[in-house]
Structure 1
């Protein structure tokens, strides 16, 4: 087992954890997890990881605009086990975000946003709240700190389900979009930050090789 806290890869990617079965990398905001369409979208987290760890495999993804912890497998058996853990909701994920408006008081108990999400086919890749066609989607949240001057709140988030854009859609739906969100916030909220202020700060799961519980943290640059 090897911990690499101070060994950056190209472009700001940080190796937070590695061993013979898996990797946990810190993805910067603006970097794709996997290649997109077109030659200008080939630089991505998986490509950079594979230069260092040939054969590294994606297990899950973050939005391009989101920063934070991403889990990768070193071989196909580990990928199967970890993918199964995600599918069965056995991986604990926590995010940090700064949202428009005051939510509080700080350290309030966890609350839930239970709103079904569906694809907005006419405006892809956007998602919408759709009671008729949406899939069940559940997010837990609690406020951590308020900034009354800016009129914003730092919130902690736990996605119970894993829908595309879930956290962004849910927070916008309750009237508190994430700062810098180019998809779901109005122009004024977008302009309050140079990037989407959403960060995957915590991953915890059962190690696919040893069976030990592994928990990793990486603070957001905006905390």
Structure 2
């Protein structure tokens, strides 16, 4: 009996630590009109749908969707939709400052300066769940993804997912690179690029770390030129 009680206490402690590390994500029944941006999504059976919504912070497999943009300040008229691909058209600066400045959302091209593209990808490795990730960079042969960064999302782990373009994203083999620290990056990159000694040698000399747009672009481009085209 004492062992069972001790196990329950230990489990609660571990769960608490996980919540503290990764934060809590909430999706209320009633959502603010301001959260809904213009979007296009491809369903799991490849139908294309236009509407409004945002990434679902409580499920990496779904987006929040409404056929029309809400007219009231708050709405319960929305659905959680599982998608293969989605594009969200928005203004990043307006989103980041709207708690301070009352900037009205617009569908004009001059206002919609940013696009978030998310793909459903599988087989990420090490027990990481299948689901939507944000396209970070792509060239003719390689795609890189990162965790979605959006309102309501707490992103702590610095993971980057890589695919080649031999197949569509949902069916393509996925590898992950751990950018949480240099040792983790070296270890994961040696595993991913073990068949490409030229790239591994550059990594050993400190290339592509820390994680930045410049370094990720260089990594994908070098992988294409050194490992795929040679």
TM-score (norm: length of structure 2):
0.25
Indicate the structure (1 or 2) with the bigger Cα radius of gyration: 2
Determine which structure has the larger helix proportion and give its number. 2
TM-score (norm: length of structure 1):
0.26
